[in-house]
Chain A
Amino acid sequence: MNTKKYTKYCIYGWILVLFLTVLFNRLVDPFWYYRDISIDGFNAIKTEYHSYEDQIKPILIKEIRPEVLIVSNSYLEVGFNPLHPRLTENGKYRGYNYGIGGAVWGKVFCNVLYALDHTALKTVVIGIQPGPLPLFDCNSQNESIKKLQQQTLLLSFDALRASFNTVRRQHRTPTHNINGMSYFHRNNGAQIEQVFKNNFDRYVKYPVVKNCKPPDFHKIPSWSYPNTSIDTDGLKKILDSLIARNIKVKLVVYPNHALWMELLMGCGDIKERWQYLYQIASVVDSVNKNSGLIELWDFQGTSEMLTERIVNGHVKYWQDVGHFNYEMGDAMLDMIYEDKAANFSHLNDNFGVILTSASIIDRFYSFFENRKVFLEQNPWFLDDFNKFVK
């Protein structure tokens, strides 16, 4: 072979393989971007979507322009159905779940601002953790979103790998639906006890063994106002921005399974959560000014779903200590929109309440009183706790 032929074949070779790559990636559409070709057994199940949701979801919401959005980490991504009839006003509005696995507050903050600029929002559900909610610089995140271009979707090693894996893994169960909702470990119910055990182990054994005991439930702690203030400027900024555009906001405090709540209280400061929530509720009150556009919802408590017994094969509402199934999410959304969980009429009234800075003290006491009653009536619960913490 002479060098002229060598050069020619090199160029032809590259053109051919690159063309085939683009074609293959376009057909498989592993990131669910084009959404026009779905062939069972070939690309219908997007097994790789979850690995790239961080990049792809921002682009998608820009294209879809949903009116109803759920912005959170994976807790609400797994638990909240964006097409819930109350949320979308029976399908009147387009809903999308913009939850991102592992998203810390900074990401949620930036995602809300991004959504504000790129969608036609009417309602937004934002998941929060009790704690500091400061401002964040979103430039680097916005830059990384801009970087994702057509060539990344069609002509990148990531896309090719994702396409191959998508075709290869069609026998797997779906990880997401087309509306951005994640199924996570939903189909892993047979091993749920082990998942809980692993969650507990990671918390109590590493890096040093902690001796965590649930606080004595017979004693109801007394309320005290926070001594130190947390940074909530980020929350205030997004709420101000949303309310300025007349967008309804439902702030949802991520609920944990009651066993996990016991662990957090047993290993840390029993009142801390409530003091954080008090400060968050104060911000909400100050921004809301009786407009009623913003609601802060807390579901933590001892209701049937929060205290569900964790036994392999019998767990309906939980996937691990923080991820709940959409059956519980539906009940939460029912509560938020109808003040009752339509299909869960037997749930007691501590399942979900709106928090304000004025009502939080009552909520604090009712939480501990309900807990006392529940633990007195259900001694198995602490036995289970000890089993997991062992």
Chain B
Amino acid sequence: MLFNSYSFIFAYLPTTLIVFFAIGRQSTRLASLWLTMASLVFYGWWNPRFIILLMLSIVFNFHIGKKLVELYLDSQIYKKNRVLSLGVTINLLLLVYYKYTNFFISNLNDVLGTGYSTAEIILPIGISFFTFTQIAFLVDASRGLVKEYDFVHYCLFVTYFPHLIAGPVLHHKEMMPQFADLKTYKLNFDNIAIGLSIFVIGLFKKLVLADNASTYATPVFEAAENGVDVTTLEAWGGALSYTLQLYFDFSGYTDMAIGSSRMFGVKLPINFFSPYKATNIIDFWRRWHISLSRFLRDYLYITLGGNRRGKIRRYINLMLTMFLGGLWHGANWTFVVWGCLHGFYLIINHFWQSFIGWLGLDSKNHSIIYRIFSRLITFVAVVFAWVYFRSNSLLTANVVIKGMLGINGTLLPIKWVEDSDNFIIRWFLSQGFRPTISDTLFDGGPELRLIVILLFICLFLPNTDQVFSSNQLNGNVLWIWKPNKCWLFITIVMGFFAILSISDLSEFIYFQF
């Protein structure tokens, strides 16, 4: 089921919510059970047969986790490590089977010239998320960090519908206590109002902003897939549109997850904090898909040794972490290249910081021009990397990259050329830019306007977390959410526009991961 569907908004969510609180008045355990069952329905809506897989995974991991806690308490380190290895390996095997089997076979065929046919494997939706969530649970259980292991709560922790399909990647220690808290099961209008408003913002981001941006991004990448050499404006238009689409799509989804969860009285961790405001790549990864970054840092980078074994080893660990982070997104070399590019960016960033430190310059207090330049260069680097993330093959990505670099030439939209009174156009023409016989994939004015508006929102407006933060020092800041007429109006209008856009039903980008 999609958050941005009529069935979710008008049937599933209100029903689940009403029944949850109605049951919660009688029995919190039954309410947990209800929410678990409802979450399984949410999951099974897409393909019911994978509910069994999900439940098997939950039962297996719960028992392994319980065993790990016992072994930790008995200080049986050797046995504990073996059980942990078994648990993690089986989780990874499941993931590898569903996600990487065909990738492995096709690469084997390419390298060895063999002709093994690929298997028909349907990727269970959300498998990357629920596998990682549970691996983290097992690792923490082996470290003695798991305090509560009630089976119903564990089931709910894994299946909880707001995060099940596309995150945020949850940590049991921030979820289990909330499921155990009696307050969670009591209807609280503060939570309902805040949750509803966050949900509506997410819905608006996805349906009105992201889906509009996709109308400009998709044709460019599809053209490149079909061997069309996209030209400079087309390539930049497509790459920027996708950059913005991805952010509003995924952060919109996260807002909907956080908002719907908040209505149930459960707070989910933030996943985005204005990532395109980042002034360097390290900063970017503190703002983009925060829950995944946290997972990769805590369970991969630090496990590999982090920065404790010298600079060279740190760079290797960074590259390895980002390589695996890329591969986690999908079985395609484009994701590997995307991950490695970010690994490379991070190494350069760390190297640069060391260099600045070596020069004795203060890395915190830079001039505004330096900060603007840093933000710009970070953004451009991210945009180039997103091209690989979006493309279905390295070939496609390279066509778009070539276009962005001007190698495929530059065409102007015909409607610009016909407006030959415009001095900018006259200048373009005088520089030898060719007009096209028909409209280019770059739509000119409307596309440019949308990109500028979305960039403005990304770069200059507060993010959802800031708007709904209760920790703001100045409570009178205009944009801080309050239950007043102004926010009521904004929420109704955003909800209205979003609901009217539901008819063009579109999936979330992160569903494929």
Do A and B interact with each other, yes or no?
yes
List, in ascending order, chain A residues with CB within 8 A of B194's CB: 3
Q: Does B192 contact A (CB under 8 A)?
A: yes
Contact of B496 among A5, A18, A147, A151 (CB under 8 A): A18
CB B484 to nearest CB in A, in angstroms, measures 6
CB B439 to nearest CB in A, in angstroms, measures 11
User: Do the beta carbons of B496 and A6 come within 8 Å of each other?
Assistant: no
Q: Does B368 contact A (CB under 8 A)?
A: no
Give the nearest-CB partner of A153 in chain B.
Answer: B503
User: Do the beta carbons of A156 and B488 come within 8 Å of each other?
Assistant: no
Q: What is the number of residues of chain B that contact chain A, defined by CB distance less than 8 Å?
A: 33
User: Do the beta carbons of A10 and B414 come within 8 Å of each other?
Assistant: no
Contact of A2 among B189, B197, B437 (CB under 8 A): B189
User: Do the beta carbons of B189 and A7 come within 8 Å of each other?
Assistant: yes
Q: A202-B437, A206-B437 are in contact. Are A152 and B503 (CB under 8 A)?
A: yes
Q: Does A160 contact B (CB under 8 A)?
A: yes
Give the nearest-CB partner of A13 in chain B.
Answer: B492
Q: A3-B192, A160-B500, A206-B437 are in contact. Are A10 and B492 (CB under 8 A)?
A: yes
CB B186 to nearest CB in A, in angstroms, measures 14
Give the nearest-CB partner of A21 in chain B.
Answer: B500
User: Do the beta carbons of B500 and A155 come within 8 Å of each other?
Assistant: yes
CA distance A149 to B505 in the complex (A): 11
Interface residues of A in 1-22 (CB under 8 A from B): 1-7, 9-10, 13-14, 17-18, 21
Q: Does B436 contact A (CB under 8 A)?
A: yes
Interface residues of B in 174-201 (CB under 8 A from A): 189-190, 192-194, 196-197
Contact of B499 among A1, A3, A7, A155 (CB under 8 A): A155
Contact of A1 among B414, B437, B485, B504 (CB under 8 A): B485
Give the nearest-CB partner of A5 in chain B.
Answer: B483
What sequence of 0s and 1s flags, for each residue 495-509 of chain B, a beta carbon within 8 Å of any chain A beta carbon? 111011111110000
Q: Does A34 contact B (CB under 8 A)?
A: no
CA distance A151 to B6 in the complex (A): 10
Interface residues of B in 407-440 (CB under 8 A from A): 411, 414, 417, 434-438
Q: Does B491 contact A (CB under 8 A)?
A: yes
CA distance A137 to B190 in the complex (A): 52
List, in ascending order, chain B residues with CB within 8 A of A151's CB: 6, 502-503
CB B189 to nearest CB in A, in angstroms, measures 4
Interface residues of A in 155-176 (CB under 8 A from B): 155-158, 160
Interface of B is mostly: helix
Q: Does A379 contact B (CB under 8 A)?
A: no
List, in ascending order, chain B residues with CB within 8 A of A6's CB: 189, 193, 483, 487-488
Contact of A207 among B436, B496, B499, B502 (CB under 8 A): B436
List, in ascending order, chain A residues with CB within 8 A of B437's CB: 202-203, 206-207
Interface of A is mostly: helix
Considering residues B434, B435, B485, B499, which has the most beta carbons from chain A within 10 angstroms of its beta carbon?
A: B499
List, in ascending order, chain A residues with CB within 8 A of B491's CB: 10
List, in ascending order, chain B residues with CB within 8 A of A155's CB: 499-500, 502-503
User: Do the beta carbons of A7 and B435 come within 8 Å of each other?
Assistant: no
List, in ascending order, chain A residues with CB within 8 A of B484's CB: 1
Give the nearest-CB partner of A206 in chain B.
Answer: B437
List, in ascending order, chain A residues with CB within 8 A of B435's CB: 206-207
CB A264 to nearest CB in B, in angstroms, measures 15
CA distance A202 to B439 in the complex (A): 11
List, in ascending order, chain B residues with CB within 8 A of A156's CB: 500-504
CB B429 to nearest CB in A, in angstroms, measures 12
Give the nearest-CB partner of A4 in chain B.
Answer: B189
CA distance A375 to B411 in the complex (A): 39
User: Do the beta carbons of B6 and A1 come within 8 Å of each other?
Assistant: no
CB A24 to nearest CB in B, in angstroms, measures 12
List, in ascending order, chain A residues with CB within 8 A of B434's CB: 207-208
List, in ascending order, chain A residues with CB within 8 A of B495's CB: 10, 14
User: Do the beta carbons of A17 and B488 come within 8 Å of each other?
Assistant: no
CA distance A176 to B488 in the complex (A): 42
List, in ascending order, chain B residues with CB within 8 A of A4's CB: 189, 193
What sequence of 0s and 1s flags, for each residue 329-355 of chain B, a beta carbon within 8 Å of any chain A beta carbon? 000000000000000000000000000
CB A207 to nearest CB in B, in angstroms, measures 5
Give the nearest-CB partner of B14 in chain A.
Answer: A11
User: Do the beta carbons of B411 and A207 come within 8 Å of each other?
Assistant: yes
Contact of B492 among A5, A14, A147, A207 (CB under 8 A): A14
CB B472 to nearest CB in A, in angstroms, measures 18
CA distance A14 to B497 in the complex (A): 10
List, in ascending order, chain A residues with CB within 8 A of B411's CB: 207
What sequence of 0s and 1s flags, for each residue 232-276 of chain A, a beta carbon within 8 Å of any chain B beta carbon? 000000000000000000000000000000000000000000000
Considering residues A10, A21, A202, which has the most beta carbons from chain B within 10 angstroms of its beta carbon?
A: A10
User: Do the beta carbons of B492 and A17 come within 8 Å of each other?
Assistant: yes
Q: A3-B189, A6-B488, A157-B501 are in contact. Are A206 and B196 (CB under 8 A)?
A: no
CA distance A331 to B193 in the complex (A): 67
List, in ascending order, chain A residues with CB within 8 A of B193's CB: 3-4, 6-7, 10
CA distance A157 to B204 in the complex (A): 13
Give the nearest-CB partner of A198 in chain B.
Answer: B418
What sequence of 0s and 1s flags, for each residue 453-484 of chain B, a beta carbon within 8 Å of any chain A beta carbon? 00000000000000000000000000000011
List, in ascending order, chain A residues with CB within 8 A of B485's CB: 1
Q: List 19 A-B contacts (CB under 8 A).
A: A3-B193, A4-B193, A5-B483, A9-B488, A10-B193, A13-B492, A14-B495, A14-B496, A14-B499, A147-B503, A152-B503, A157-B501, A158-B503, A202-B437, A203-B437, A206-B414, A206-B435, A207-B436, A207-B437
The 5 closest A-B pairs by CB, nearest first: A6-B483, A3-B193, A13-B492, A156-B503, A157-B500
Known: A3-B189, A207-B437. 20 other contacts (CB 8 A): A1-B485, A3-B193, A3-B194, A4-B193, A5-B483, A6-B189, A6-B193, A6-B483, A6-B488, A10-B193, A10-B197, A13-B488, A21-B496, A149-B503, A151-B6, A151-B503, A160-B500, A206-B437, A207-B411, A207-B435
